[in-house]
Amino acid sequence: MKIFIDTANIQEIRQANSWGFLDGVTTNPSLIAATKRTFREVVEEICAEITGPVNVEVVAKDVPGMVREGRELAKIANNIVLKIPMTPPGIQATRQLSGEGIKVNITLVFSPLQALLAAKAGASYASPFIGRLDDISHTGMDLISDIVTIYNNYAFPTEIIVASIRHPLHVLDAARIGAGICTIPLKVIEQMFKHPLTDIGLEKFLKDWEKIPKSS
Ligand code: E4P
């Protein structure tokens, strides 16, 4: 499984990158707004930090606007991936931009058929938002199972980015299903390291180490 971090905060990205397993970054307008910095400044800094895909969202709503904005964003760095919303114009723009060799991640996917359309449009990635489905009492992880099945049935090359992850169990279940990518907030990545028996075991080993004679 590839691990992306879901943030626009450069300190968080650097922290996750320092562990050596970070495969990419996802941002969205809300995450960029939380930095209180300009869009351009944030995106350029992230692209300089990370060699893997850096997902940035277009905000135009019509096809010509999305294509124009997408082409401009793609010029920022060669690891830019465009996040385009799951709308009819979004799907049309994706077909066009993908045809030009620009990578697209269809975002705000909430149903298996939306994911099917994303794959048909030639999107490199589709982002189902599982936490937001859980929030409205739908089992978000069922969506991931359905999309994995559909993409496998037809050998679609579109990669699934499990998004809107709220806790480590989301990552565990996504891994069991075999989803290709999880985009995870730093807090949840940190939780993935943790087990109380690791802490207790380490403390005991270090205490016992002190009991070992240091010279004969
Ligand atoms: C994914 O690319 C989105 O940025 C993100 O996962 C949305 O998560 P949220 O539902 O916690 O806002």
Residues 6+ apart with CB under 8 A from 41: none
Which band of pLDDT confidence, cut at 50, 70 and 90, is reported for residue 216? Answer: confident
Q: 24-26 and 80-85: which strand pairing? A: unpaired
Residue nearest to atom 8 of ligand 1 (CA): 164
pLDDT of residue 139: 98
For the entire predicted model, the pTM comes to 0.96
Q: Encoding tokens for residue 134?
A: 């859980």
Which band of pLDDT confidence, cut at 50, 70 and 90, is reported for residue 104? Answer: very high
Pocket of ligand 1 (CB under 6 A): 6, 26, 28, 107, 127, 129, 131-132, 163-164, 183
For a pocket test of ligand 1, which of 129, 132, 186 has the largest count of ligand atoms closer than 8 A to its C-beta?
Answer: 129
Q: Encoding tokens for residue 181?
A: 């990518």
Give buried/exposed letters for 45-77 (b at 16+ CB in 10 A, else e).
Answer: bbbeebeebbbbbbebeebeebbebbeebbeeb
- Taking residues 55-62, report their average pLDDT: 98
- Taking residues 26-37, report their average pLDDT: 98
- Taking residues 173-183, report their average pLDDT: 98
Q: Could you give the percent of the chain with pLDDT greater than 90?
A: 99
CATH of domain 2-211: 3.20.20.70
Q: Which atom of ligand 1 is closest in space to residue 131's alpha carbon?
A: 10
Q: Which helix (H) or strand (E) holds 84?
A: strand 80-85
For a pocket test of ligand 1, which of 5, 6, 106 has the largest count of ligand atoms closer than 8 A to its C-beta?
Answer: 6
Q: Is there a contact between 70 and 82 (Cβ–Cβ < 8 Å)?
A: yes
pLDDT of residue 215: 83
pLDDT of residue 99: 97
